[in-house]
Amino acid sequence: MSAPIRASSILPGHREEIELHTADGLRLVGELARPADREPVGTLICLHPLPTHGGMMDSHIFRKAAWRLPALADLAVLRFNTRGTSSVRGTSEGSFDGAVGERYDVAAAIEYAEFAELPNRWLVGWSFGTDLALKYGCDPAVAGAILLSPPLRFSTPGDLAVWAETGKPLTALVPEFDDYLRPDEARQRFAAVPQAEVVGMAGAKHLWVGDAEKVLDEIVRRVAPGVPVPLPKTWDGPMETGDVSAYADRTVAAFADLPVPGPQAGRAD
């Protein structure tokens, strides 16, 4: 009998705890989720929101991607905590470095996916993670990037120019009511990248609360175009239930209006 897929639903998949090792000597904790009984058709390398305000590998869209997409879309999902970031999985070594030292974290994740021979590797950044993707993710081993709620706070016009030059696909999913960058302004800012696609998400906000399914559909549409969307809302088969209570406060805190280090302090991205 089919059962509804809820926020706490964990669909079948092969999940393993992993460690990433950065070029500057840090150990980062993470997880790799893959389809249970077949090879993935694509790979998501997830770059989470601002860790000083609760962003982590378990931020709700990435958690749902890891719990659902290996079964629903044959995708591998690599999540990890950037330096100094904690979650239920554990705490990565080092400390938050304002999108500077995190360049080594992004490189370590891409390197892990490449050495594991994971196919069709895409970066999926959310908020602060979009800046990391733009600054450090235009790597030969990466097929493209999907940006969720990009604030364009730490990234520069020079970073956009690098993406423009390579021609790699770049999609920005921009909430209609985003706190930092809304669709019309985003189209102007991303015009510097001719191949960039800016998708305004009607009714959505920076947190994507209530809109995670729409986001997952848009990700799958680009990374695994052979998979029909919208993705199923029910599952006919074995399904586990995860504990999401540990994450609720962290999700809200990730976007609290509190001072943050770096440029334009006071905006939590």
Domain ranges of the chain: 3-223+243-253
Q: pTM of whole model > 0.85?
A: yes
Q: How confident is the model at residue 246, as a pLDDT?
A: 67
pLDDT in tens, 120-160: 999 999 999 999 999 999 999 999 999 999 999 999 999 99
Q: How confident is the model at residue 38, as a pLDDT?
A: 96
| Structure-model confidence comparison of residues 83 and 269, the more confident one | 83
pLDDT in tens, 74-129: 999 999 999 999 999 999 999 999 999 999 999 999 999 999 999 999 999 999 99
One DSSP character per residue, the chain reads --EE--TTEE-S-EEEEEEEE-TTS-EEEEEEEE-SSS--SEEEEEE-S-GGGT--TTSHHHHHHHHHHHHHS-EEEEEEPPTT-EETTEE-SS---TTSTHHHHHHHHHHHHHHTT-SSEEEEEETHHHHHHHHH---TT--EEEEES---SS--HHHHHHHHHHT--EEEEEETT-SS--HHHHHHHGGGSTTEEEEEETT--TT-TT-HHHHHHHHHHHH-TTS-SSPPSEE-S--EE---TTTHHHHHHTT-S---SSSSTT---
Q: How confident is the model at residue 66, as a pLDDT?
A: 98
Q: Selecting from 3.40.50.280, 3.40.50.1820, 3.40.50.970, 3.30.420.40, what CATH number does the domain 3-223+243-253 have?
A: 3.40.50.1820
Q: What percent of the chain has pLDDT over 90?
A: 89
Q: How confident is the model at residue 250, as a pLDDT?
A: 54
pLDDT, mean of residues 4-30? 97
For the cut 60, the answer to whether the pLDDT of residue 18 exceeds it is yes
pLDDT, mean of residues 191-209? 97
pLDDT, mean of residues 236-261? 64
* Average pLDDT of the residues of the chain: 92
